[in-house]
């Protein structure tokens, strides 16, 4: 069995001793190549991780914009395909709010399905990103706070409310006579 070759040393500084003094003394030894301090490594890591905050916010905004575009387009296609049906509902005496609620139900159901699917896929994506981003010196916490699930669901519901408000005005503009006159 071979004798191990030690290539590092870990020690704690006494009160009143500065890092600069110790590193100067250590590096002047002929068998020492360099000196580093855990505090410096921690500060460097915190600075690098702090720069990720901007990237995370950019991803959140892009995901939100994509969610709004997808939800609006789905609802818009739904309305366009069913314009005669919506006009018929209006002719039968439904008020604008009742007609809008008719379309809202489908948007809300789509939103809840999207939230559930997003939660499930988010768990797997989080694990993948954590494992990919880890380096030898640092291991990330792999747990996800329950508030992340709550905020993602609330944000998605907020987007749905905004889209439903926009669609309400589009539904109000549907002309009963023109829609029923159109040829399929």
pLDDT values of the chain reduced to their tens digit, one per residue, 184 residues: 788 887 777 777 778 777 777 777 777 777 777 777 777 777 777 777 777 788 888 988 998 899 889 888 988 888 888 888 888 888 888 888 888 888 888 889 989 999 999 999 999 998 898 888 777 766 777 888 999 999 999 999 999 999 999 888 888 887 766 666 655 5
Q: Nearest to residue 36, comparing CAs of 16, 1, 11, 57?
A: 11
In whole angstroms, give the CA distance from residue 120 to residue 82: 32
Query: What pTM was estimated for this model as a whole?
Result: 0.68
Cα distance between residue 78 and residue 46, in whole Å: 48
Distances (CA, A) of 169 to 1, 82, 90: 81, 16, 14
Structure token digits, residue 13: 């500084």
């Amino acid at each position: 069995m071979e004798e191990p070759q030690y290539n590092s040393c870990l020690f704690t500084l006494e009160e009143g001793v500065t890092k600069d003094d110790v590193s100067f003394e250590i590096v002047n030894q002929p068998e020492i190549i360099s000196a580093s301090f855990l505090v410096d490594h921690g500060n460097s890591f915190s600075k690098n991780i702090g720069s990720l905050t901007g990237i995370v916010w950019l991803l959140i905004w892009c995901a939100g914009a994509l969610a709004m575009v997808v939800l609006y387009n789905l609802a818009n296609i739904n309305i366009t395909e069913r314009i005669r049906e919506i006009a018929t509902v209006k002719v039968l005496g439904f008020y604008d709010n009742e007609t809008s609620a008719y379309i809202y139900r489908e948007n809300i159901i789509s939103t809840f399905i999207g939230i559930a699917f997003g939660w499930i896929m988010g768990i797997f994506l989080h694990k993948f990103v954590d494992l990919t981003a880890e380096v030898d010196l640092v291991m990330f916490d792999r747990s996800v706070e329950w508030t992340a699930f709550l905020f993602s669901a609330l944000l998605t519901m907020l987007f749905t409310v905004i889209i439903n408000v926009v669609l309400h005005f589009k539904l109000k503009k549907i002309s009963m006579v023109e829609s029923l006159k159109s040829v399929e």
